[in-house]
Amino acid sequence: MTKWRAPWLSRVGPTRLKMELKLSPDESDFQREIGKFVDRAFPIAIRERPSAADEAYWHRAVANEGWTAVEWPVEFGGPGWNPIQIYLWYRVILQANCPVADYCGLQLVGPLLQRFGGRSDTSQHLEGIRKHTHVWGNAVFFDASATVLATGAGENFLLHGETPCFSTSVKFDRALVLAKTHNAYSLFLVDLNLAGIALTQTKSAPDIFSLAFDQVQIEALGLVGEIDKGIDHLIYLVTSFESIAIVVHLQVALSNLRRLTALKGMEASMEKRLADLEIELKALEATGLRSILSAGREKLPIVSIKGRSLAGRIRDSFIDVLGYYSLPYETGVEGSNEPVLTSPDFQPNFRQLEYLPGCPQDFRQDLVAKTLLGL
């Protein structure tokens, strides 16, 4: 049960908005059990800079417990947790800096297949997501940079064009693609091992890729839902599914920012900015909990949109505090005998801001604008 406390107001200095989440004894026990599991599967000694093997072990351990898809219904492999348990799960694993999940698979592909199905074996795709045997990329970009065309009908489609693609892993082998078909858009499940597909990492960010198709033949089994209904399917998704995970990502990032500010002796210059961020994040937390508790009600993706806006402001604050230590890549000049500028001690601070769940931000904002305008 969530209980609000009115903050003490002061004429000097910023005020703090306090919210306490009162846990029942069962919920406290649940949180302790999750903490014990995390300590076993992802020990403290490896949390700062985990290796690829450490991350793979974590994903296997979570899958073995049946906890990969904590927000899925039981009939599709979810653990049957209530919203508070889901919130506690995210809070514990993100505070421990555990590897991020495959958000495209869990929060885009999975829910879409559960609602609309596909011509292919839906259960096989869902099992691959739960067991982390397949990792998905998100190529659902509804803008001028996405020019993928799907021609044909019946048994096969041909994909041609190029689109940005986002993924939480550089080793993803599947992609959810929004392509132009006939007079509208359709969604396709694409195996990236097919001939004619070129995947290259962009220079702008380590998680954004360029996905190019050169007359790639896709079986009609890869179509999600109905032809020409891709936008309608995405609208259903973003108006019926909101994840509290984005709020927990920001809570952990803001906590890291406050700790780093104290470490650098910048409390005085950053206090007002931190207080403003904390107040807005507390309000977003309450909104997020209300949102996931209001099952069955259509809602706009306000939590995701506001959360991404806050993420940008927190990231900017990290850059202001870290200066040149906020450089994203730990690479040096060939032949140089000087150390690189990035600091291993500071890099985990950005981890909670790298992979935020949900659809592309522009798509969500466009949906909200059209809905409010009645278009």
- Residue 81 identity (one-letter amino acid): W
Sequence ranges of the domains in the chain: 22-98, 106-117+134-228, 244-325+340-356
User: How far is residue 19's CA from residue 3's CA, in Å, rounded to a whole number?
Assistant: 6
Q: What angle do CA 337, 338, 342 make, to 5 degrees?
A: 140
| Per-residue pLDDT, 355 | 47
pTM: 0.77
| Per-residue pLDDT, 114 | 92
- Within 47-144, strands assigned E span 136-139
Q: Do residues 321 and 266 make contact, with C-beta atoms less than 8 angstroms apart?
A: yes
Q: Do residues 178 and 139 make contact, with C-beta atoms less than 8 angstroms apart?
A: yes
User: How far is residue 287's CA from residue 309's CA, in Å, rounded to a whole number?
Assistant: 15
- Residue 372 identity (one-letter amino acid): L
| Per-residue pLDDT, 15 | 37
Give the HSE-up count for residue 12: Cα atoms under 13 Å, Cβ half-sphere: 0
What distances in angstroms separate CA 23 from CA 36, 222, 361, one per listed residue? 18, 44, 33
| Per-residue pLDDT, 6 | 32
| Per-residue pLDDT, 312 | 83
- Give, rounded to a whole angstrom, the gap between the first and last alpha carbons of the chain: 38
Encode the chain (375 residues) as per-residue pLDDT tens digits. Answer: 444 333 322 323 333 444 556 889 999 999 999 999 999 999 999 987 889 899 999 999 999 999 999 999 999 999 999 988 998 999 999 889 898 888 889 988 999 999 988 656 788 899 999 998 999 998 887 565 568 999 986 678 999 999 988 887 778 899 999 999 888 889 999 999 999 999 988 776 667 888 999 999 998 888 998 899 988 888 888 777 777 788 888 888 888 888 888 888 887 888 889 999 999 888 888 877 776 666 555 555 677 778 878 888 888 888 888 776 665 555 545 555 555 544 444 444 444 454 455 444 455 556 556 555 555
User: How far is residue 176's CA from residue 150's CA, in Å, rounded to a whole number?
Assistant: 13
| Whether CATH 2.40.110.10 fits 106-117+134-228 | yes
User: How far is residue 284's CA from residue 307's CA, in Å, rounded to a whole number?
Assistant: 7
DSSP code for 109 = I
Label residues 113-133 b or e (16+ Cβ within 10 Å = b): bbebebebebeebbebbbebe
| Per-residue pLDDT, 287 | 78
| Per-residue pLDDT, 338 | 53
What distances in angstroms separate CA 285 from CA 6, 53, 139, 281, one per listed residue? 16, 33, 29, 6
| Per-residue pLDDT, 9 | 28
